[in-house]
Amino acid sequence: MNKALLALKLAEKLDLQKKTAEDFVAAFQEIVIDALKRDEEVTIAGFGTFSSRIRAARKGVNPRQPNEVIDVPAVKVPKFKAGKKLKDELKASTVATAEITSATE
């Protein structure tokens, strides 16, 4: 699902104008990005937590010249930790799918 489809689903579910839903998704994205830039976590209970972390500097290999070792600098990267409700819903979905698959074989 991409950003446009997410906005469309949101508009349908909440009976909103499509433009309002698109604005909501864009604003949510901006707010999360701004918080992560300030090293803040964004927690949505039951869904998960967005955070950022520093990936340490390391040695790497130049893909165009495999014999050349390069220094890859430290960089801030996003991280998402799924919440309990999200994990439980996915687990239940996996179990249901497995049961349907085994029943049809």
pLDDT at 99 over 70: no
Query: Are residues 6 and 55 both part of a single domain?
Result: no
- Cβ pair 1, 12 in contact under 8 A: no
Query: Are residues 29 and 50 both part of a single domain?
Result: no
Query: Are residues 57 and 9 both part of a single domain?
Result: no
Query: Are residues 28 and 51 both part of a single domain?
Result: no
- Provide the pLDDT for residue 24: 97
CA distance 12 to 103: 34
- Domain extent, residue 25, equals 1-38
Query: What residues are paired with 52 via a beta bridge?
Result: 78
Query: Are residues 26 and 56 both part of a single domain?
Result: no
Note if the pTM is more than 0.75.
yes
Sign for the pseudo-dihedral over CA of 26, 28, 30, 32: negative
Query: Are residues 6 and 20 both part of a single domain?
Result: yes
Tokens, residue 25: 């998704």
- Provide the pLDDT for residue 98: 61
Query: Are residues 27 and 63 both part of a single domain?
Result: no
Phi–psi pair at 37, nearest 5 degrees: -60, -30
CA distance 45 to 66: 45
- Cβ pair 10, 21 in contact under 8 A: yes
Amino acid at 7: A
- Cβ pair 87, 53 in contact under 8 A: no
Mean pLDDT of 12-16: 96
Q: How many domains does the chain have?
A: 2
